[in-house]
Structure 1
Amino acid sequence: MTENKIEEVETRREIHDLSSLESFLLHNDNFKNVSYISDVPEVCKEYPCILGIDEAGRGPVLGPMVYGTAFIPINEQTLLTTLQCADSKALNEEKRDDIFENICKHSKKMGWAVEVIAPNSICNSMLSRSKYSLNQVSMDSAIGLIKMALANSVKVEHVYVDTVGKPEKYQEYLKSLFPQLHITVAKKADSTYPVVSAASICAKVTRDHALKVWQFHEGIKVKEFGSGYPGDPVTKKFLTDHCDPVFGFPQLVRFSWSTASNALEGNAYHVEWEKVEDEKSGSTQKIPITSFFDKINKTSLEPEKKRHHFFTDRCLSRNVKF
């Protein structure tokens, strides 16, 4: 990952059903990315496995994006059909939850993993000076899940990935990183390959329950904010009702999305930056803000206080001490 990525935590709090999934999500900081991998069954260490990768929550203006993977021995893959693994978008929430719990119950034959990518991590990446696109965030998460499976001794033979961008280019990139693996990158892989469908379900269920147990550090009590998609009227109302005129939105919101930017335009204070013109050429020059302050002798300063998490979580730093 690049330097823009928020600190990631990998925890071993066990997940074996929906209740423990919610507990896992509830006890993790919304400001940090978090990853989890289930216990790897012995059969996945002994026999060649297929591994599928898909995401949930790429488009919404609210909440995290979750990448998921599922892995199972090739000689056991008929179990995925028995569990009725299908594209998560084609299933209702109740059916997805049921399939997820059944995946957990078959922990002796298959495993799964997820990475929950925090909204502020996505925004910091997309708005940083060194551009780090959502496609690259997605690819790096998929790569991280493959590495996690390999590091936990999963005997991966073939990887199936639902594409972002052009599948041919993505597949070539993954093959350059994992030359020992067979790799298939395809459009709509979640509706074509059952192992990708299983990964899609793990990702979608994790995102849904992450939103259900979301803890607002800003003190907001509201629990209904819609699907998170830009066209949802409930989501639009949430953005309008919870836009601070100075600080903007709560951390749940991906402020780099145009839907959020438009809401800011209509509800937040406008800031005008004065242009400084060179008297001779009339051209605009950049003057460092530090030029407006006297230099301070560091030895005369009191011990520096710990900075508020509002600034550290958003990667904001001071260039001069006041």
Structure 2
Amino acid sequence: MDFQGKSTKEVEKQIKAMDLESAAKLIPFLLKDERNGIQKLGESLSKKLDKHIKEKERIRTLWYYENEIFKSGVKIIAGIDEAGRGPLAGPVVAAAVILPQNIFIEGVDDSKKLSEAKREFLYEVIKDKALGIGIGVIDNQVIDDINIFNATKLAMGHAIKNLNVRPDYLLIDAVKLTDIHINQQALIKGDSKSISIAAASIIAKVTRDRIICDYDKLYPQYGFRNHKGYGTKEHYEGIEKYGITNIHRKTFLKGIAGEYLGENNHFK
């Protein structure tokens, strides 16, 4: 292909209008062009292609467990994960996600490895592409009643029941759901090994963060929007100054709950 007669800006505009794999066919022609600007476009495109190829390979490895299970004749796999086991306040949220087999969603990973902006973006992509999404939310009062481990399993069970498609198999991050009679496998650090669990981790995290941001409007003095209920210095200072709210997990604050449920507490 000859780029003679086209300016660097015109060639750049042409490349931007193409999908990456189509544009990649231009790389040899861009690199052998005599103009430095056109060559740089080729170099930049080559780097993007290399990054894209590596990302496709990473996603392919994330499909390993799902594809091994598909080989056994299973048709529908749900990945299950939770967000919010560790915070001092708010609910634990679980998500169940069913993805189309071997779909490529660039950037999907353990939600903890992603920026907030990236999680928000992928949340919308997953919602658009998934065959099914179920959410389970268990509040702080139930967490205090039955403990966080049991509350997490309960949230996961609700998420599965809230799917609009019944799965044949469950891939779960580190938890075995003995009361759910569906074939399943618990994967330690599953959100970094299974694409279905990784997708569920993103849905659960974004859902919970949005709930906590709504709480921030009710209790702005605690900084929930910043720490999402985790035990940061800002959060402990808020508790010390204002007491414990109706969304705090009292069993997570055993050492100080009595002190802050005294006269200065506005939320008891």
Query: Which band: TM-score by shorter chain?
Result: 0.5 to 0.7
2:101 to 53, 77, 84: 77
1:61-140 counterparts in 2 under 5 A? 61-72=88-99, 76-79=100-103, 81-106=104-129, 109-123=130-144, 125=145, 132-140=146-154
TM-superposition CA deviations, 1:170-199 (whole Å, max 9, x none): 36x25xx41xx4311121111110000011
The verdict on how the C-alpha distance between 1:221 and 1:136 changes in structure 2, with shifts beyond 3 A counting, is closer
On the 8 A contact 2:94/2:155 being kept in 1, the answer is: yes
Of structures 1 and 2, the one scoring higher in RCO (CA 8 A, sep 6+) is 1
Per-residue Cα deviation, 1:232-277 (whole angstroms, up to 9, x for no partner): 111111111111xxxxx111211111xx23333554549xxxxxxx
Structure 2 unaligned segments of length 5 or more: list them.
1-73
Equivalent runs, 1:141-180 vs 2, <5 Å: 141-149=155-163, 152=164, 154-164=165-175, 170=176, 173=178, 177-178=180-181
> Is residue 261 from structure 1 mapped to residue 226 from structure 2 by the alignment?
no
- Rounded Cα–Cα distance in structure 2 between residues aligned with 1:88 and 1:264: 31
- Do 1:64 and 1:116's aligned partners in 2 also have CA atoms closer than 8 Å? yes
- Are 1:48 and 1:155, in contact at CA under 8 Å, matched by a contact in 2? no
Q: Distance in 2 between matches of 1:84 and 1:162?
A: 19
2 CA distance for matches of 1:239 and 1:182?
43
TM-score w.r.t. length of structure 1: 0.53
- Residues 213 and 144 from structure 1, CA distance in 2 versus in 1: closer, same or farther, beyond 3 angstroms? closer
Q: Which has the larger radius of gyration?
A: 2
Tell me which protein shows more helix as a share of its residues. 2
- Aligned residue for 2:235, secondary structure, equals helix
Gaps of 5+ in 1: 1-46, 126-131, 165-169, 244-248, 271-309, 312-322
Q: Give aligned pairs, total.
A: 190
Instruction: Report deviation, 1:223.
Output: 6.1
Q: For 1:69 and 1:268, how far apart are their aligned partners in 2?
A: 37
Aligned to 2:247: 252
Partner of 2:213: 212
Question: 8 Å contact 1:83–1:103 — kept in the other structure?
Answer: no
How well do the aligned residues superpose, as a CA RMSD in angstroms?
2.6
Q: Could you tell me how far 1:155 is from its partner in structure 2?
A: 4.4
- TM-score in terms of structure 2 length: 0.63
Is the CA contact (8 Å cut-off) linking 2:136 and 2:162 kept in structure 1?
A: no
Identical columns (%) = 27
Using the TM superposition, give the Cα deviation of residue 110 of structure 1 relative to its aligned residue in structure 2, in angstroms.
Answer: 2.2
